[in-house]
Amino acid sequence: MIEVVGQNEVLELFSKLAIKDKIPNSLLFTGLRGVGKFSSAIWLSCLVNCENSDLNSRPCGRCPHCRKISQLNSVDIHVVEPDQTTLNLKIDQIRELVSESTSAPYELKKRIFIVKNAERMTDEAGNSILKILEEPPKYLLFILTASDSSSVLPTIYSRCSEIKFRDIPKDIIFDWLLKNKMAEEDDAKLISSISFGSIGTAEEYAKDPKKLEKRISFLDILTNIEKYSSFEISAKTSNLCTCIADFFVINTVISLWLRDLMAVSACREFEDIVNIDFADQIRKQAMSIPITSLFAISELLKETVKKTFFNVNPSFLSDNLFRGISLILSNN
């Protein structure tokens, strides 16, 4: 059975709704990337299809249906995720989903359609799914996932029942890393902090040391960025962002760097710094940066992320972003 970590409240809600036969047919799961939205979608898919109905509305994890769903090995389970090159959900993907949804289940009680990162859906793709979301047949269950409701097209949001996922406390992530022998204690402490509530991010850091190395490279640049010329910034970042996935690593690193700077600017004695290995540098940097500059950087980051919808070269985006941050800070 697939593991869901730190989201007991959500699973209990599903169980209560299942007992009353009140699970909506169109759901939107919102929450930070990596908090368990997809694993919960699989858990719910097992729940509504489990062949054992005497378990207080929790999937048994052992019946043929539960096993097939957990392994994504059923013809009635469809997972749609963004194109790996652009990280967008395209019109052809959604049209195929809508076409598939016209058929009744072949082997399960309900056909399941899971759309990951629904905020990456183009307007055209979003419009093509509206009708089936508004009036899905009873044999279908649509589960869309997104970082937050405001990032989803309003027409899609209005047709779904939202389930909010909480950030996972770092002590739960720390214990999970140790229990699964994914990191030693010191590394687990750092990873559980910089994952900032995301067990998926923690797993990526634990399994791929190169991600931690890239993060350190980015933070080295950010915490010293006032010292570099535009040419030096380009030289330092040129090989660090080779694909759109790298850009989103940069986005996360900058977001958490900003979060720490803002927190320390607001309260000099602030203790809960996320980037614990760069705490001294961040405290020193926060003393010299006006809060207005931090808000300007935040707006720059938001505008840069929007450009990822339009196939802009990620290396170009990264270079302009770091140069933009440098320009804002030089104008203090």
pLDDT tens by residue, 267-280: 888 888 999 999 99
Does one domain contain both 59 and 71?
A: yes
Does one domain contain both 52 and 100?
A: yes
Residue identified by tokens 């392994």 is 71
Does one domain contain both 113 and 177?
A: no
pTM: 0.84
Does one domain contain both 133 and 254?
A: no
Does one domain contain both 142 and 23?
A: yes
What is residue 54's predicted lDDT score, i.e. its pLDDT?
A: 64
Across 125-139, 142-156, 216-230, least confident range: 125-139
Does one domain contain both 184 and 143?
A: no
Does one domain contain both 264 and 294?
A: yes
pLDDT tens by residue, 28-53: 999 998 899 999 999 999 999 998 86
Does one domain contain both 201 and 216?
A: no
What is the CATH classification number for the domain harbouring 156? 3.40.50.300
Does one domain contain both 110 and 69?
A: yes
Angle, alpha carbons 156-200-151 (nearest 5°): 25
What is the CATH classification number for the domain harbouring 311? 1.20.272
pLDDT tens by residue, 6-22: 999 999 999 999 888 88
In a domain, 298, yes or no: yes
SS3 content of the chain, % helix, strand, coil (to 5): 55, 10, 35
The CB density around residue 116, as the number of other CB atoms within 10 Å, is 18
Helix residue spans in 135-169 (DSSP H): 154-157
Domain membership of residue 112 as a residue range: 8-164
In a domain, 3, yes or no: no
pLDDT surpasses 90 at 233: no
Run of H or E residues at 112 = strand 111-115
In a domain, 18, yes or no: yes
Run of H or E residues at 161 = strand 161-164
16 vs 13: CA distance, rounded Å: 5
pLDDT surpasses 80 at 78: yes
pLDDT surpasses 80 at 87: no
Domain count, the chain: 3
Average of per-residue pLDDT values in the chain: 88
